Structure 1
Amino acid sequence: MDITCRKCGAKLTITNTATPIVKCTNCGYPNPVMAGAQPSRPAQIPPAVSPVAPAMPSQAPPRQAMGKASGPSELGWLVVHDENAEQQTHPLRIGRQVIGRKSVSRPCDIMIETEDPFMGRNHCILEVKPSRSGGYEFFLSDVKMTNGTPEQMSTNGTYVNAQPAALRPKDMVYLKDGDTIQMGKTKVVIKTLISAASAQDASRIVQDTDYSPTVIIR
């Protein structure tokens, strides 16, 4: 007579049915033996279940590389507004920018297209710096260093708002929105984000204003 272990399902052969208990030779489980009884059905062994790994917290999507907060690339504009030159608009960015007459042999950062022979090819410097209030400040100077000595960069001078005196090498002027700079005989107006949102805005605003008086160069 054969029976099946109720615990592990191993097949057990019974030679003496008078024995009430048969110990499984595989797992040691004591199986009861009933004379004349039908062999017990094999125990249903649940399928092996792989251990479940602990749930991992959902992975956040990769963060984009974080850098400095990006601000506007154009912080202001120089708009040529002169009776004898075509209107042009040049962007201002943070840092030091040399302004002058357009030249292939001696290029500068902001090159103004003009036939003005009194404007130097490297005439003056406009510097844009972040301010403590969170905005930007604009400074104008007409200076170059020669063997450690400050000298005037331009030959014919740089004037602000038609003031009769040109900038000296030691001068650094704080510019405001709407100020006019005269280089040689050519005048340009500075516009900032205070009053203009784009180069087109700056150009349109300046175009609708009167020309500033021209300082006579002697």
Structure 2
Amino acid sequence: MKRVKCPKCDNYITFDETKYQAGQSLVFECPYCSKQFGIRIGASKLRATQKEENPDEHANENGYGSIVVIENVFHYKQVLPLSLGDNVIGRYMKGSGVNTPIETNDPSIDINHCVLTVRHDKHGRLQYILRDGPSYTGTFVDNEILGDRERRVIEDGCLFTIGATSIILRAAESE
């Protein structure tokens, strides 16, 4: 089941997306305010724009893991691949330089909110190090806020929070 937000009254309308094909247009009438509006099923225009801007950054052939952005009232679930080096995580804005952008309306996420560095440790295994941007609302790992210059090593399944958004690290498969 998917939800769409009425552009007039901000109430949600739920529908079964499996009954429709990608590219199909739907028209809804809000039961709360009677506003009629349309949507198109399939990939968002914003995601297509991001791929045009950075086509090589959205491929995960290198296998450095990913982050899973948990769906909430500000955005849908997103899986974003990570690359070796610094992955700057923040709210998507065209031309911002963020290489791991989240499509969101969450006002508590900064454009450059935090950085997740992927590197090899001295044994050759991948290591994930999280630090705050610095951001206005902070970055939390296990409900503890990261200090201004603190770096925290995180592992597969670790939950961290930026603004009102929760994110889970999915580490690359070990060989």
Partner of 1:48: none
Distance in structure 1 (CA, Å) of the matches to 2:128 and 2:95: 28
**Structure of higher CA gyration radius:** 1
The corresponding residue for 2:140 is: 159
The residue number in structure 1 matching 2:86 is 96
Alpha carbons 1:80, 1:89 under 8 Å: kept: yes
Q: Distance in 2 between matches of 1:169 and 1:186?
A: 20
Instruction: Give unpaired runs (5+ residues) of structure 2.
Output: 1-60
Q: 1:185-216: per-residue Cα shift (whole Å, max 9, x none)? A: 01111001248x9xxxxxxxxxxxxxxxxxxx
- Tell me the distance in 2 between the aligned counterparts of 1:99 and 1:123: 6
Greater fraction helix: 2
The one-letter code of the counterpart of 1:112 is I
Once residues 173 and 113 of structure 1 are traced to their aligned partners in structure 2, the CA distance between those partners, rounded to angstroms, is 25
Contact 2:119–2:128 (Cα < 8 Å) also in 1: yes
Equivalent position amino acid for 2:64 in 1: L
Number of the residue aligned with 2:69: 80
Distance across 2 between alignment mates of 1:73 and 1:194: 11
Equivalent-residue separation in structure 2 for 1:160 and 1:111 (angstroms):
19
Asked whether the 8 Å contact 1:107–1:121 carries over to 2, the reply is: no
Q: CA RMSD in A?
A: 1.9
Per-residue deviation, 1:156? 0.7
CA distance in 2, matches of 1:176, 1:189: 10
Instruction: Name the structure with the higher strand share.
Output: 2
1:149-193 residue CA offsets vs partner (Å, 9 max, x unmatched): xxxx101111112x1x32111210001100112111011110012
Superposition pairs of residues 138-157 of structure 1, within 5 angstroms: 138-143=128-133, 153-157=134-138
CA distance in 2, matches of 1:176, 1:118: 25
State the shift of 1:97 in Å.
Answer: 1.5
Residues 89-120 of structure 1: CA deviation (Å, up to 9, x unaligned): 11111101111000125241110001100000
Q: What are the residue-to-residue correspondences of 1:1-218 with 2, within 5 Å?
A: 73-84=62-73, 85-143=75-133, 153-161=134-142, 163=143, 165-194=144-173
User: Unaligned regions of 5+ residues in structure 1, if any?
Assistant: 1-71, 144-152, 198-218
Runs of 4 or more, structure 1, over 3 Å off, are: none
SS of aligned partner of 2:87: strand
Is the 1:100–1:122 contact (alpha carbons within 8 Å) kept by the matching residues of 2? yes
| Matched AA of 1:101 | R
Q: Cα deviation per residue 1:20-69 (whole Å; 9 max; x = unaligned)? A: xxxxxxxxxxxxxxxxxxxxxxxxxxxxxxxxxxxxxxxxxxxxxxxxxx
Identity across aligned pairs (percent)? 30
